[in-house]
Amino acid sequence: MIKEFRINVSEEQISNIYNKVKNYPWQSIEDMEGWIHGTNKKYLKEICKYWISEFDWKKHEELINSFSNFKTNIEGIDIHFIKEEGSGKNPKPLLLMHGWPGSIVEFLEIIKPLAHPEEFGGNIEDAFTVIAPSLPGFGFSDAPKNPMGPRKIANIMNKLMSENLNYKQYFAQGGDWGATIANWLGYDHHENCIAMHINCLTMRHPDGPETNEEKKWLNDFDNDQIIQDGYRTQQATKPQTLSYAMVDSPVGIAAWIIEKLHGWSDLKNNDIESAHSKDTLLANIMVYVLTNTFNTAAWIYFGRREEGGRYFPNDFKKINIPTGIAMFPKEMSAWPPKSYIEKIFNVKQISKMDEGGHFPALEKPRLLIEDIRKFFKNL
């Protein structure tokens, strides 16, 4: 069963959040210069002041509700999704998946151009019917009873598309966890997911790197990740402990998320607002705070560790569905050499962008839209 869904956050709930932000004990936090130690205090205070004085959640709630929102039950979990019917006679179904610390907020500016290209200077023949879910445990979807990794989530997503929505064949697109889930859709559910477009690679071939170029890539990646692994290790091993600190602290959640939007985006002069406005940052943060999903959204890291981590199984066979890849220069997870990529995927298109980072739907939506259209059009 598929039910219509609308977001309707009470003013009391919003006021309660704002009071916590207003009363945050800033005097207990040291003044540290820059971002090298983590989220910059000066900027966090600035955005929190904006949060309680100028930010209007109801405006963003109205924007989300302007799309057709639904919920449907899959394996006992109520999954939220936006569905935008595409223009024309035969729009192609496209599953659009976010990652962490993202949400459906990432896609609000690209859903309509993908579904109605003729309204944005494109051709109606390139239209998609866009399905953009909140992943299990994220945002407006329910959480599973226990941590669930990307392979199991891929099974949920495939049931959403092929059973509950009755799309026997569809396309998938994603970055971050969305890309990982798309990988598993192509591996386990290739009879339904017939092509994918990704802008991030998190998985690894079980044989590891073989050429000198591949070995250098992995060594450089591992060295780079030394200072990035803190959040990932915590969320993959003891997410429950972190949740006690965050459950009653909107400012803590904001700091945790903003650090990643700052560190993983293509910034000018180290200015986070050269890539993301305060309103966009806060709308995404509010999805976590309002739905109390900071904890359960982190479960996907624990779930992946239980599923075997970054590496595909030892009996891995190449994912043969057509795959398009968009490489953005400030992607936090550096892409391997083409030789390594082609051991995993049936690569049909690689686009190397001149700008953009880990969140292209927010940072460079036009580039991402054009690359998605180009790839699926040429199949």
Domain residues for the domain of 156 are 2-377
Give the least confident one: 11-25, 156-170, 212-226.
212-226
Q: In what order do the strands lie in the sheet with 128-133?
A: 2-4, 69-74, 77-84, 128-133, 92-97, 170-174, 193-198, 319-327, 345-352
Structure confidence at residue 225 (pLDDT):
83
Compute the distance between CA of residue 188 and CA of residue 319 in angstroms, rounded to an integer: 9
Check whether 305 has a pLDDT greater than 90.
yes
Residue 208 buriedness (CB in 10 A; 0-12 / 13-18 / 19+): exposed
Q: CATH no. for residue 287?
A: 3.40.50.1820
Residue 98's pLDDT band (cuts 50, 70, 90): very high
The single residue of 142, 176, 266, 371 carrying the catalytic annotation is: 176
Check whether 226 has a pLDDT greater than 90.
no
Give the least confident one: 230-234, 274-278, 343-347.
230-234
Paired residues of 366 in beta bridges = none
Q: Among 372, 376, 371, 321, which Cα is nearest to 345's? A: 321
Structure confidence at residue 73 (pLDDT):
98
Reduced 3-state DSSP string for 305-343: HHHCCCECCCCCCCEEEEEEEEECCECCCCCCCHHHHHH
**What percent of the chain lies above the pLDDT cut of 70?**
100
Q: Provide the residue type at 202 as one letter.
A: T
Structure confidence at residue 108 (pLDDT):
98
Check whether 224 has a pLDDT greater than 90.
no
The single residue of 189, 301, 340, 371 carrying the catalytic annotation is: 301
Specify whether the CB–CB gap between 218 and 336 falls below 8 A: yes
Structure confidence at residue 85 (pLDDT):
98
Residue 140's pLDDT band (cuts 50, 70, 90): very high
Tell me the pLDDT tens digit for each residue of 229-265: 889 889 999 999 999 999 999 999 999 999 999 999 9
The single residue of 116, 205, 276, 358 carrying the catalytic annotation is: 358
Q: Average pLDDT over the chain, rounded to whole?
A: 96
Question: Which token pair is 106?
Answer: 């990432």
Total domains, the chain: 1
Active site residue 358: yes
Give the residue-averaged pLDDT of 337-365: 98
